Amino acid sequence: MTSAAAKADPVVLVTGASQGIGAAIARRFAVGLPAARLALVARNQQRLEQVAQACWADGAQAEAFAADITDPEQVERMAQAVQQRLGPVDVLINNAGHWRGGAVQDMPVSEFLLTLQENLVGAFAVTRAFVPAMIERRQGDIFFTSSTSGLEGLANNAAYCAAKHGVTGLARALRAELSPQGIRVCCVYPGPTDTPTWDGSDADVSRFMSAEDVAQVFFDAYQLSRRSMVEDIVLRPPSAV
């Protein structure tokens, strides 16, 4: 790889890596960049270990770091552990999040706040923990998994829409702040995707996108030379267009 291209052996941190899109992103980087060192973050240690083992089988080094990103102290401890064991993070993928639906009049304020914490505040805390080292080295890639709910308003979805609109704003503000320092910031907006989120629902997931297709766009955006930056990627299943 040339100095103008993405590193072949990056330290890649993925939050929400225990299942769904996060697990698919980890597997895609493991297959595409076997020299990568993957830091997998989520609350569920057992599922994280399973994804890490799959990444090892794909050829990449992977370690599990169980942490609840809604807790700033856990985020700080996780960041210290990652950097001590793997080194500075080159690619930060803020993927963790949780959907909570409901009409405004039916949702307690506590659930609204928790939705913001899980989808927006946690992403800010994780980013804040790793950005200083990127600024010092004047290089890095930061990704955010937003949602098409971060671009539009949907009935009975106020909390999630508000949180994902916040992710959109955070990504755009960070891009303005960090791109002059050589750090790329990309925000990905997936529409309905076949993930465990839909387990137990009556949704027809056969009409949804695959998590692997969504993961592919993160990998492709990272692979671009440093002369290019993808700012926003919107993905929808054909049935949703």
Report the distance separating Cα 229 and Cα 114, nearest Å: 32
If pLDDT is split at 50, 70 and 90, which confidence band does 3 have?
very low
pLDDT at 2 over 50: no
Residue-level pLDDT at 153: 85
If pLDDT is split at 50, 70 and 90, which confidence band does 128 have?
very high
Least confident of 193-197, 207-211, 222-226, 231-235: 193-197
Q: CB neighbours of 70 closer than 8 A, spacing ≥ 6?
A: 114, 117, 118, 121, 122
If pLDDT is split at 50, 70 and 90, which confidence band does 240 have?
low
Across the range 57-62, mean pLDDT stands at 94
Q: Around 172, how many Cα atoms within 13 Å sit in the side-chain half-sphere? A: 11
Nearest to 232 by CA among 191, 172, 158: 172
* Domain covering 11-194+206-240 assigned CATH 3.40.50.720 in the classification: yes
Residue-level pLDDT at 112: 93
pLDDT at 205 over 80: no
**Pairing mode, strands 140-145 and 183-190:** parallel
Across the range 49-63, mean pLDDT stands at 95
Residue-level pLDDT at 208: 83
Q: Where are the domains of the chain?
A: 11-194+206-240
Least confident of 58-67, 80-89, 194-203, 220-229: 194-203
Q: Residue 88 is encoded by which pair of tokens?
A: 């500075």
Residue-level pLDDT at 1: 35
Q: To the nearest whole number, what is the mean pLDDT of the chain?
A: 91
Task: Answer for the pair 74, 64: CB distance below 8 angstroms, yes or no.
Answer: no
Residue-level pLDDT at 55: 97
Task: Answer for the pair 191, 209: CB distance below 8 angstroms, yes or no.
Answer: yes
